[in-house]
Amino acid sequence: MSTATTAIKAKTGASSPSRRRGNAWRQIKRSWQLYVFLALPVAWLLVFMYYPMYGAQIAFRDFLPGRTILGSEWVGLTHFIRFFNSPMFERLLSNTIGLSVYSLLVGFPIPILIALSLNQLRTGIFKRSVQMISYAPYFISTVVMVGLILQFLDLRRGPINLLLQWLGIDTVHFMGIADMFPDIYVWSGVWQNSGFNTVIYLAALSTIDPALHEAALVDGANRLQRIWHIDVPGIMPITLTLLILNMGQLLNVGFEKAFLLQNPLNLKTSEVISTYVYKVGLVGGVANFSYAAAIGLFNSVLGLLLLLAANQISKKFSETSLF
Amino acid sequence: MASTIRAMTATEIRIRESRVDRIFNLVNYTILTVFLIVVLYPLIYVVSASFSDGSAVISGRVVLWPVDFSLLAYEKIFQYESIWTGYANSLFYAVVGTSVNIVLTLFAAYSLSRQDMYGRKIIMGFFVFTMFFNGGLIPTYLLVKDLGMLNTRAAMIIPQALSVWNLIIAIAYFRSAIPGELLEAARLDGCNDFQYFFRILMPLSTPIIAVLTLFYAINHWNQFFTALIYLSDKALFPLQLILRDILIQSQVDMNMMEDLQSMAAKEAMRELLKYALIVVASVPVLIIYPFVQKYFVRGIMLGAVKG
């Protein structure tokens, strides 16, 4: 160990930056086994996460199967401009953002309200049943979830339309009305995820000092007042953190659910960026890799900017930020 | 003294349980009960429908409990070959994929949880960055294609070998649950970093391995998109792809319907099959779920610590 340090010292002189470098080297040498552990994960990260970022440059080239990335002609922003000028651009952007904002407006507050409400219950069989049952739908796969939605909303045999029939009301072709797609998408998501999303808030609520509640009780505060003045401020930091993360996801409407719910009748409202990238790039006779990659890259960059903006805003108005 | 104070607060709580509070409690229980019913009813309906007679289901006679109890749908599913191939494939992807996930996650988490490792923050930054930005679908697809993994089982496992979110949870666990003195003591006894990992850290890591196994395994089991883009050979299809054909595209193997005469009977059977299939596909996850629920909650909480 010491010979290594002296060797470096001899080579670079004893000025302070090189001394720091010497320390670093010594530290690395001492814990080389830790880097052995990291080798495989880092190799995977470079290949499967960072190489595709390098490969994303095909968005600026005319890439064709059989050619190498660098061997494809550089076309600059052509694909991006084509996308911005295409009639799909506005539709995709408004569908994608519309679905996310709607999901966020409905799906974000509901778990908070349920968590606050559950937190008021004494631990007992009712509380445990609500938790256990409401978490369950979260574990259903997207395919099964969409299968469920289609079964329930079926025009002729779905229970909802059977009920409408029984009540003497006209049946509704839910999946055939494009304007109903956002409602179906968002509220089925609420059904599936609200229960499970309470977990994190319940965890935060359990860390609130009970002495605060006792003191408030002595001062004569009722339950609502205690929720508002103790519980809500208590979960504020985690709420803001989750809100920032959600803002960063505004453009990432999950592929699976939107894709599986799509049919020719609702495509007008159900086509989102991720499903369109898949169709342009991987389906159909002409493999339009570069154009699809450009749309994907536009999506990723805009998503990152949104996250950074949300983080900045949160930093300014509260003390919560991701980085 | 302290006990008298506590006794006083207890009586005071009872006294101050005001009118507002009583109304609040009533409203609170009502809301949660409605929520419970809304979540539970569709689940009960599906199970009941799957055990009913087909004609009862499509005519809307099933309301809560099975009508004209029948196991016919399950018998059909039992003979449905592609469902069982899919089941076996999904099981393979879940078991092998999760094992790979666990090894890589624990290796990386161990190194990155060590404060004394030079360059830890920068390397961590490289991992976390991929949560917020990625190359996108097409470049990833082209990479998998160039590696010759298209239409192989490897495509279902290797591109998803690590999840940064789970890595963060594992790091949080090593930091919060394993005391730092343990490392120092082991060092004094001449233990190196390899030995520390395998002999000391791993035996203490059962809870985090349980959490990671569950997160990863459920993810593999429910995986649909990866299979959709990378696989074209039916023999490799996981259950979710088979389910999609039947549940969403209503493509039911007609051999299953041979013995049924009328169109109506075929239609009823097709609907019945779907309900039963939803149950069969969710059973593995829902059976282990109650046992592992507390681990999931723990995992989420660990993730929340780091944000």
- The ipTM assigned to this model is 0.83
Q: Under an 8 A CB cutoff, do A139 and B35 touch?
A: no
Q: What is the pLDDT at residue B302?
A: 66
B285 to chain A: nearest residue by CA?
A: A139
A19 pLDDT more than 70? no
What span, in angstroms and rounded, lies between the C-alpha atoms of B107 and B161? 12
Q: Under an 8 A CB cutoff, do B229 and A58 touch?
A: no
Q: Which of B270, B280, B216 lies closest to B83, judged by CA? A: B280
Residue A25: Cβ-neighbour burial (10 angstroms; 0-12, 13-18, 19+): middle
CA angle, A132 then B218 then A131, to 5° = 10
The beta strand positions in chain A, using DSSP E, are 61-62, 73-74
Residue of A24, A53, A200 with shortest CB distance to B135: A53
Provide the 10 A C-beta neighbour count for residue A316.
8
A204 CB neighbours in chain B (<8 A) are 304
Distance from CA of residue B233 to its chain's centroid?
25
What span, in angstroms and rounded, lies between the C-alpha atoms of A250 and A100? 5
B108 CB neighbours in chain A (<8 A) are 37-38, 41-42
Domains of chain A: 1-30 (no CATH), 34-76 (no CATH), 78-317 (1.10.3720.10)
What span, in angstroms and rounded, lies between the C-alpha atoms of A167 and B167? 53
Residue of A44, A238, A293 with shortest CB distance to B136: A293
> Would you say the C-alpha torsion B169, B170, B171, B172 has a positive or negative sign?
positive
B125 to chain A: nearest residue by CA?
A: A323
A62 pLDDT more than 80? yes
Any CB–CB contact under 8 A between B288 and chain A?
Answer: no
Q: How far is A182 from chain B (nearest CA, A)?
A: 19
Q: How far is A10 from chain B (nearest CA, A)?
A: 23
Q: Are B237 and B89 in contact (CB under 8 A)?
A: yes
**Least trusted range by pLDDT, from A1-5, A96-100, A213-217, A237-241:** A1-5
Q: Which fold has domain B81-252?
A: MetI-like fold (1.10.3720)
A220 CB neighbours in chain B (<8 A) are 16
Provide the 10 A C-beta neighbour count for residue A215.
13
Q: Under an 8 A CB cutoff, do B139 and A218 touch?
A: no
Q: Under an 8 A CB cutoff, do A159 and B40 touch?
A: no
Interface of B with A in 67-106 (CB under 8 A): 104-105
Q: How far is B32 from chain A (nearest CA, A)?
A: 8
Which segments in chain B show pLDDT lower than 50?
A: 1-5, 306-307
Q: What is the pLDDT at residue B80?
A: 83
Q: How far is A231 from chain B (nearest CA, A)?
A: 16
Interface of B with A in 136-175 (CB under 8 A): 136-143, 158-159, 161-162, 167
Residue of A137, A143, A151 with shortest CB distance to B240: A143
Residue B140: Cβ-neighbour burial (10 angstroms; 0-12, 13-18, 19+): buried
* Range among A1-5, A71-75, B226-230 rated most confident: B226-230
Provide the 10 A C-beta neighbour count for residue B166.
22
A273 CB neighbours in chain B (<8 A) are none
Q: Under an 8 A CB cutoff, do A292 and B16 touch?
A: no
Tally the residues of chain A: 323
The DSSP letter of residue A185 is H
Residue of B21, B167, B247 with shortest CB distance to A222: B21
A246 to chain B: nearest residue by CA?
A: B132
Distance from CA of residue B276 to its chain's centroid?
20
A222 CB neighbours in chain B (<8 A) are 16, 18, 20-21, 24
What span, in angstroms and rounded, lies between the C-alpha atoms of A142 and A138? 9
Q: Under an 8 A CB cutoff, do A134 and B57 touch?
A: no
Q: From its phi and psi, is residue A220 left (phi > 0), alpha (psi between -120 and 50) or beta?
A: left
A7 pLDDT more than 50? no
Q: Which of A185, A156, A148 lies closest to A172, judged by CA? A: A156
What tens digit of pLDDT does each residue of B149-162 get?
Answer: 999 999 999 999 99
Domain chopping of chain B, boundaries: 2-72, 81-252
Interface of B with A in 225-244 (CB under 8 A): 225, 229, 240, 243-244
Q: What is the pLDDT at residue B261?
A: 67
Q: Write the DSSP string, B142-161.
A: HHHHHTT-TTSGGGGTGGGS
Any CB–CB contact under 8 A between B190 and chain A?
Answer: no
Tell me which H or E stretch contains A262: none
What tens digit of pLDDT does each residue of B231-274 get?
Answer: 999 899 999 999 898 888 877 766 666 666 677 777 788 888 88
Q: How far is A216 from chain B (nearest CA, A)?
A: 11
The one-letter amino acid code at B284 reads P
Q: From its phi and psi, is residue A66 left (phi > 0), alpha (psi between -120 and 50) or beta?
A: left
Pairing of strands A73-74, A61-62: antiparallel
Q: Which of B98, B42, B46, B47 lies closest to B223, judged by CA? A: B98
And the tokens for B150? Answer: 């298209």
A8 pLDDT more than 80? no
Give me chain A's average pLDDT, please. 84
What span, in angstroms and rounded, lies between the C-alpha atoms of A142 and B162? 21
Q: How far is A312 from chain B (nearest CA, A)?
A: 15
What tens digit of pLDDT does each residue of B269-291 get?
Answer: 888 888 888 898 888 887 777 67
What span, in angstroms and rounded, lies between the C-alpha atoms of A192 and A183? 14
Q: Which of A112, A95, A137, A86 lies closest to A280, judged by CA? A: A86
Q: Under an 8 A CB cutoff, do B20 and A248 touch?
A: no
Q: Under an 8 A CB cutoff, do B130 and A49 touch?
A: yes
The one-letter amino acid code at A128 reads R
Provide the 10 A C-beta neighbour count for residue B210.
16
Q: What is the pLDDT at residue B1?
A: 43
Residue of B117, B138, B243 with shortest CB distance to A293: B138
What tens digit of pLDDT does each residue of A157-190 get?
Answer: 888 888 888 888 888 888 888 899 999 999 999 9
Testing the interface with A: which of B138, B160, B280, B296 to mutate, by most A Cβ within 10 A? B138
Q: What is the pLDDT at residue B205?
A: 85
And the tokens for A291? Answer: 């154009």
Q: How far is A277 from chain B (nearest CA, A)?
A: 8
Q: From its phi and psi, is residue B119 left (phi > 0), alpha (psi between -120 and 50) or beta?
A: left
SS3 at position A74: strand
B218 CB neighbours in chain A (<8 A) are 139
Distance from CA of residue B237 to its chain's centroid?
19
Q: Under an 8 A CB cutoff, do A45 and B43 touch?
A: no
Q: What is the pLDDT at residue B100?
A: 96
And the tokens for B169? Answer: 């949870």
Q: Are B9 and A218 in contact (CB under 8 A)?
A: yes
Q: What is the pLDDT at residue B183?
A: 83
Q: Which of B71, B81, B26, B63 lies closest to B253, judged by CA? A: B81
What span, in angstroms and rounded, lies between the C-alpha atoms of A126 and B168? 33
SS3 at position A156: coil
Q: Under an 8 A CB cutoff, do B285 and A139 touch?
A: yes
Provide the 10 A C-beta neighbour count for residue B184.
10
Residue B152 sits at φ, ψ, to 5 deg, of: -125, 165
Give me the total of CB pairs closer than 8 Å, taking one residue from chain A and one from chain B. 272
Q: Write the DSSP string, A284-297.
A: SSS--HHHHHHHHH
A33 CB neighbours in chain B (<8 A) are 192-194
SS3 at position B119: coil
Arithmetic mean of pLDDT, A93-98: 90
What tens digit of pLDDT does each residue of A199-246 get?
Answer: 888 888 888 888 888 888 888 888 888 889 888 988 888 888 888 878
Q: What is the pLDDT at residue B2?
A: 47
Q: Which of A289, A299, A322 lies closest to A66, judged by CA? A: A289
Arithmetic mean of pLDDT, A77-101: 90
Q: Under an 8 A CB cutoff, do B159 and A34 touch?
A: no
